[in-house]
Amino acid sequence: MAIQSLQAVINSTVQVAPPVGERFAMASGLVLAIHNLHAARWLHKGIRSDNILCFRDTKDENANLPGKENTDGLPKKTESGDNIAIPLADNLPLSKPPNPLPPFHLLGWDLSRPDHPSELSESISISTLGFQTKREMIRMYTHPDVFPINRQNGKRSRYHARWDIYSIGLILLEIGLWRTLESIRYSCKSEDEFRLRVRTEYCDRLQAKMGLVYWRAVQRCLNDDFDLADSGKEDYSLQVGFEKQVVFELEKCFA
């Protein structure tokens, strides 16, 4: 038994993605966790696939994958002119379903804090707590508006729930494509190109892979595209919008 991050699991199974139904369930559980966190007036500030962990039996991580069937001892035929023994198709065993994914847990609470004007936490850009070596990783999963400094007061904007939602949208993208954000970043020449292609080209690939409902939920998260009720309270409206247009929608997804 070993602790593995979602990022590591994707990298180790990238050739054979888990069943779509399991990925729907994983995505639904994660967005519900973020919704409950925000409903409790807390911000996470560190949502990344290397902060989503599971306990995984490494002995079974390759068990029951397609192409792993044992054909020893099965009747074989020899192709004329070739001394190649090929198992008879009628005798090949049926593939077994892959072992189900273990439950994943959201960790990485180093920078989390209550969502209140009087509460403070360290900046995401700090180089302490081992963050220096993960600077590029942190930047990939963080909303671009987090980093610019206000020219008037020399400070960064206060972190808010919308930026957590952007980050969870990137996680949903990884789950849907079963591809790490890091691999997408390496295919782009610049950060601006990366952020644009993630919100458009790569997000749109989810339509064929995960369906329109999943795609639309991810699109909303990445583009801050929520139909907010005019309640006069932006934070409350965002919570309701996220719940109705992401949490509830992903609960409908089934395969």
Does 18 have pLDDT greater than 50?
yes
Of 145 and 90, the structure prediction assigns the larger pLDDT to 145
Of the two residues 162 and 231, the one the predictor is more confident about is 162
Q: Using CA atoms of 194, 199, 202, 207 in order, give the dihedral in degrees to the nearest 10.
A: 180
46, 133 in Cβ contact below 8 A? Answer: no
Residue type, 82: D
Fold of 2-60+99-116+138-252: Transferase(Phosphotransferase); domain 1 (1.10.510)
- Segment of 85-89, 133-137, 147-151, 192-196 carrying the highest mean pLDDT: 192-196
Q: Give per-residue pLDDT as tens, 154-203.
A: 567 889 999 999 999 999 999 999 999 999 999 999 999 999 999 999 99
Mean per-residue pLDDT, 66-89: 54
> Which is more confident, 236 or 249?
249
Q: Greater confidence, 52 or 59? A: 52
**Residue 230, pLDDT above cutoff 90:** no
For helices 161-177 and 212-223, angle between their N-to-C axes, nearest 10 degrees: 140
Residue 66 pLDDT > 80, yes or no? no
pLDDT score, position 253 = 97
Q: Rounded to an integer, what distance in angstroms lies between the CA atom of residue 132 and that of residue 138?
A: 9
Strand order in the sheet with 2-5: 2-5, 52-56, 105-106
Instruction: State how far the alpha carbon of 172 is from the alpha carbons of 80, 134, 166, 255, in Å.
Output: 51, 21, 10, 16
Is the sign of the CA dihedral 223, 10, 38, 206 positive or negative? positive
Model pTM score = 0.82
How high is the pLDDT of residue 165? Answer: 98
Q: Name, of 73-82, 135-144, 171-180, the range with top average pLDDT.
A: 171-180
pLDDT tens digits along 90-119: 667 787 877 888 999 999 998 899 988 777
Question: What is the share, in percent, of the chain residues with pLDDT greater than 90?
Answer: 59
Cα distance between residue 96 and residue 69, in whole Å: 9
Query: In the predicted model, is pLDDT for residue 125 greater than 60?
Result: no
> H-helix or E-strand containing 186?
helix 181-186
Domain ranges of the chain: 2-60+99-116+138-252
